[in-house]
Homo-oligomer: A and B are copies of this chain.
Amino acid sequence: MTQLYAVRMDVALPPDMDPAARDDLLAREKAYSQRWQRSGHWPHIWRCVGQYANLSVFAVDSNEQLHQILWGLPLFPYMGITVTPLAAHPSDIAQDPAQ
């Protein structure tokens, strides 16, 4: 059974990080993220305007699976992460038989 979670990730990379190491890290992060997007576990990822942060929505089987995905992010050591478990909203037309 798929469960949704909203996850905000704030990234703080040291400004004086070695450029090559930085580019490699970001490339690995992008590839990692896109793999989980293609598998359907990461249906939404938006950039928070003006910040090195994103708001994402994950569709996973369990808390456990979400943790493994987030823990595996190459950028994880440089991130502040907040997780909000989501449920269906009674007004959501996609959930409302009357619609």
Q: How far is the CB of A91 from chain B (nearest CB, A)?
A: 4
**Interface 1/0s, chain A 23-42, versus B by CB < 8 A?**
00000011001100110000
- Which residues of the other chain, B, contact A77 by a CB distance below 8 angstroms? 13, 15
- Which residues of the other chain, B, contact A83 by a CB distance below 8 angstroms? 49-51, 85
- Which residues of the other chain, B, contact A68 by a CB distance below 8 angstroms? 87
Overall SS of chain A's interface = mixed
**Interface 1/0s, chain A 73-99, versus B by CB < 8 A?**
000111001111111111111001001
CA distance A1 to B86 in the complex (A): 17
Residue of B at shortest CB range from A68? B87
B7, B38, B46, B93: the one within 8 Å of A87 (CB): B46
Ordered by A's residue number, 10 sampled pairs between the chains whose C-beta atoms are within 8 Å are: A3-B64, A5-B49, A5-B63, A33-B91, A34-B91, A34-B93, A46-B87, A50-B71, A55-B84, A64-B87
